[in-house]
A and B are shown apart, each in its own frame.
Chain A
Amino acid sequence: MWVKLAGKLFAREFRRGELTIIFAAIALAVLTVFSLSSITERISLNIEQKSSDFIAADRRLSSNHAFEPLILTKAKEFGLNTAEMLFFDSMLFANDELVLGSVKAVSNEYPLRGKVTIKDNISSQPFDVEHGPQPGSVWLSEGLFYTLGVNVGDNVELGAGIFNIAKVLVKEPDSPFFSLSGNKRVLLNYQDIPATQAVQAGSRVFHRLLFSGDDQQLTDYYQWLKPQMKSNQNWQGIKDRQSPLGNNLDRAERFLLLAGLFGIMLAAVAMAVSAKRYCERQYDPVAMMKTLGGSRRVIRNIYLLHLSLVTGFSIIAGFAVGYFLQSVAGEYLAQFMGTELPQAGIRPWVLSAAIGIVCALMFSLKPLLDLFDIPPLRVLRRNLGDTIAISRIHITISLLTIFVLMWVFSGELVTTLILFGSTLLVIAILFGISRLIFAAGRRLGLSPGSSWSLAIATLQKRANANAIQLISFALAIKLMLFLVVLKNDIISDWQMQVPSDAPNMFIVNINENEVEPIKQFFNENDIAHEAFYPVFSGRIDAVNGEEYSRRVSKQEGEEKDEEARDGVSREPNLTWLDELPEGNDIIEGQWFTGGDEIEVSVFEGWREVLNLELGDSISILVNEQEVIAKVTSFRTVDWGTLKPNFVMILSPNMAGTVPVTYFSAAQLSDSHTKGISQLLQRYPTISMIDIKAQIEQAQSIIGQVSLAIGFVLSIVLVSGALVLISQVQASLAERLQEVVILRTLGAKGRLIKLATLYEFLLLGAIAGLVAAIVSDLVLMIIQQQLFAVDGKLHPYIWLLGPTSGAIFVAMIGYFMVANTMKQNTQGLLRKIA
């Protein structure tokens, strides 16, 4: 019997709009989580795929020694796809020209991810293929065509073998970003290695295995592989790669995560407010039902069924809208990216439904329990039960739920703590401020009967309710401002990293006597270029007299240092410089003092691995010549820039003591092609590394991620707007009574509407201002802690906050109250009866 009654009550309450707010709040939580997690999952799957393209695989294993055959057979047993690669240098000979080529031999499965870009000849259009050269042929990079004076179809001698030049190699998916050893590339079929006879015992070669498969297969395989791995073997995934892209993706992920958290927080605020409101509005019917003999059990069943039904409908609605939103966004992003976005798995469905249920339960539980406690005597004493409306337990449960949801959703305790803590602080500050402002408002003397004085009187009268409303408004505005600022900062930061005038060609292997003529050539042809850095290779022999190998092996077996040690090459590229390069910051010690001693400034990341301290002396072997350098500073290096970076920079008094080549970077356009080929012919030993493709790739990914961020931001903005609407709607019932009294007393609709407009303008402006001030301060912490960028103030949000807050809140409030004005007073009187 109660089911029928509950169903009837539910249908009516729903139709009357009593459940709209609660429905919208749960649906909002579900759709926010669903669309955010779907789109972020789809984007991150796509980004992961793209990133996999950058290593031409999902994982790779590298070593300067050949691998045991078991490593490959086991990988196949685990269901992984594999490919083999071998890197070595060998002489190329054609047309009486002899050049040292950088050979990359690839098996037929290469690339496992991504595509190789090639051209049929120098002047034709590039296109993508998913394989390497056929046995018996080679693909050469463009520079080699100029140096050797060959064309496609000619033969070239590589070591002891003769190969047909089949294509011009434009881009390898896994081409190195910053490698200075990335000389003139020759792509060779793996089967042809023996024919070159270039790989003999003791040859300097580099082996690499590529793997692809699903996450589980890769993890299982790595579990097997890990114990067998030797110290000279290096296992790499997408995220291990130190590149500007990796850093940017990391930041994008953090931003999307943050946006997701904000979405949840906003939905949670809406939910907590609406659940409390709904339950308060049910006090009278519950008291009545109890008076008429309804048992506690029946009443509990009725309202729990209501909650289940509204949760179920909201989840379905949230799914529907969320699915639509993410489809539209996915379609748009796919068009922009020119690729299909992979479909998200089951996670967004489960996660969002779970969050919907948790929200409904946790934010409604306490108000519902209070509801069951409403005494029947309320039918005679109307204010009985009102005191339980403000419940510390409800607030505590709600806050705890928000915290746990944020934690579960982000999986990061620190991020959650920073955001949650700052939000609590904001609430405390806002509550204090709002009380002060409303108290101060009492002293304002305004002429009676004016809309302004009515507005201020209303604000004062509802000081407590307004404080809560103000906090919700400010919180929503704060979160929105946060994201607007972060989006702008992150994107402009990225654009700075890859500016449109970034150098797109590295020029390496320049002899000292070639520096001036090349500089002159650049100047004559108006080619923008970087400085010419002296570069030399040195072998780190010892630190304070202790052998390098012993020093590094001290930490053998320590898991945490494994990755760090992988990054430490024994033969780094070294330079000497007068000034600290851009993007470097000294964190300890000082830049070169100009004394007689040779000094060295070391990248911070190497300090821990080599266990260095200021004043240590590093012994470096340069062509059998020992150089002792004293560590005088440690630097941070922004690896995110497309500029040359060095882990060790020596003092300029090194000049003339060791043989060096020079390195520079320039921005070249198609119009320079002819001049460049002349330059290459004149100085055949120099090498040009074209990073145009990489820059374009980076810019394209940044573009996609910026677009994704824009989309996520707009979802959060909509969520924020809905919070504001739900909050205004929640207060509408209270307002209705006043409107009726004022109307009955003969107040003009215009006066009431204007008073409402001013009231909401004031509320919105105050909320916006407070939100702007707090956001800017908290932003500084967030930017430093989460995004590792310098925190700075953003004056524009100090204007944007109050203005947008005032306009937005006033608009919503005005339209909602104006709508009420359309009804006649008698109708309103009955409505509140």
Chain B
Amino acid sequence: MSVLSQLNVIQVSGLTKSVNTLEGNLTILSDINFAVKSGESVAIVGASGSGKSTLLSLLAGLDVATKGEVHLDGDALSTLDEEARAQVRAQKIGFVFQSFMLVQSLTALENVMLPAELAGDHDAKAQALELLDKVGLSHRLEHYPSQLSGGEQQRVAIARAFIGSPKILFADEPSANLDSKNGHLIEKLLFDLNKQNGTTLVLVTHDELLAKQCQRIIHIEAGQLEKISEGVSANVG
């Protein structure tokens, strides 16, 4: 592996995803190639159905590609089975979802602790308390998701995403389910924490303004990589 590729925390080459449907074979993503450097923030944009969420699922090892390869911090995902990919996610990846995806039977604190506990980390509670304090929810530790507002739930999800200090953070439309005020707050929090932790951020959105806050923007259209442009923060970081 070259020095250049070692600097790339995500290396995507010839990535193709197709599925069998009743009407025959359907290609969702076709021959995608790009790389993401460590600490970089990248937005994946495209219209609904363009394949951006599928791309995210392949990058995070939630799904497997039909062809091509994703190298994630040196690991070739196609060579790993589901268990090994889970191991990679546990060690290197954090997630923020549009629908928060909190476990309803766990409190805010316990939800944040969950990934660390699954990884067998004994320091989970201290880390979770610190992160919840950072997202401004230290007064909501024992609240269940159903007792929190949407914005608060997403803040819990962000705190959860950063526990265990992941190398890469995947965010899928993190503010789409929130009003604009809460949405902006969440976006700011995400970028701030990302900067503080030096995490690589891969953000899926259809919001051009949000995308521009990233250093680079990958445009996907009808399953093809249309172009890669620079965001407004390209020269800042």
Contacts and interface: CB of A to CB of B under 8 A. Distances in A.
A293 B56 contact: no
B23 interface: no
Nearest to B161: A292
Given A293-B87, A296-B82, A833-B146, A380 B106 contact: no
A296 B146 CA distance: 27
Contact of A377 (B62, B103, B117): B62
Given A12-B105, A18-B105, A831-B146, A293 B91 contact: yes
29 contacts: A1-B121, A4-B117, A9-B105, A9-B106, A12-B106, A288-B101, A288-B103, A289-B103, A289-B114, A289-B118, A290-B86, A291-B62, A291-B101, A292-B90, A292-B114, A293-B86, A293-B89, A293-B90, A293-B119, A294-B118, A295-B83, A295-B90, A296-B83, A376-B62, A377-B62, A377-B63, A380-B53, A380-B57, A833-B100
Nearest to A373: B82
Interface in A20-72: none
Given A376-B62, A380-B56, A291 B89 contact: yes
B95 A291 contact: yes
Contacts of B88: 293
Nearest to A10: B105
A377 B57 contact: yes
Contacts of B119: 293
A71 B95 CA distance: 85
A377 B100 CA distance: 15
A375 B82 CA distance: 9
Interface string B54-89: 001100101100000000000000000011001111
Contacts of A530: none
Nearest to B95: A291
Contacts of B99: 382, 833
A4 B120 CA distance: 11
A523 to B, nearest CB: 84
A292 B89 CA distance: 6
A16 interface: yes
B167 to A, nearest CB: 13
Interface in A509-549: none
Interface string B134-161: 0000000000011100000000000010
Nearest to A292: B115
Given A292-B95, A376-B86, A379-B62, A5 B118 contact: yes
Nearest to A289: B118
Interface in A774-832: 827, 830-831
Given A296-B82, A376-B62, A377-B57, A285 B87 contact: no
A298 interface: yes
Interface of A: 1-2, 4-5, 8-9, 12-13, 16, 18, 284-285, 288-298, 375-377, 379-380, 382, 827, 830-831, 833
Interface residues on B, range: 35 or more
B34 to A, nearest CB: 20
A294 B95 CA distance: 13
B105 A13 contact: yes
Contacts of A295: 83, 86-87, 90, 118
Contacts of B56: 380
A300 B104 CA distance: 19
A5 B117 contact: yes
Nearest to A18: B105
B118 A298 contact: yes
Contacts of B82: 296, 376
A571 to B, nearest CB: 80
Given A293-B118, A376-B86, 14 more contacts: A2-B117, A5-B114, A5-B118, A8-B106, A285-B103, A288-B101, A291-B89, A292-B89, A295-B83, A295-B86, A377-B57, A380-B53, A380-B97, A380-B172
Nearest to B166: A293
Nearest to A293: B90
Contacts of A294: 86, 90, 118
B10 to A, nearest CB: 17
Given A298-B118, A377-B62, A284 B101 contact: yes
B43 interface: no
A833 B95 CA distance: 19
Residue of B62, B88, B147 with most chain A CB atoms under a 10 A cut-off: B62
A110 B119 CA distance: 77
A13 B91 CA distance: 28
A1 B105 contact: no
A1 B95 contact: no
Contacts of B122: 1
A48 B95 CA distance: 69
B203 to A, nearest CB: 14
A293 B105 contact: no
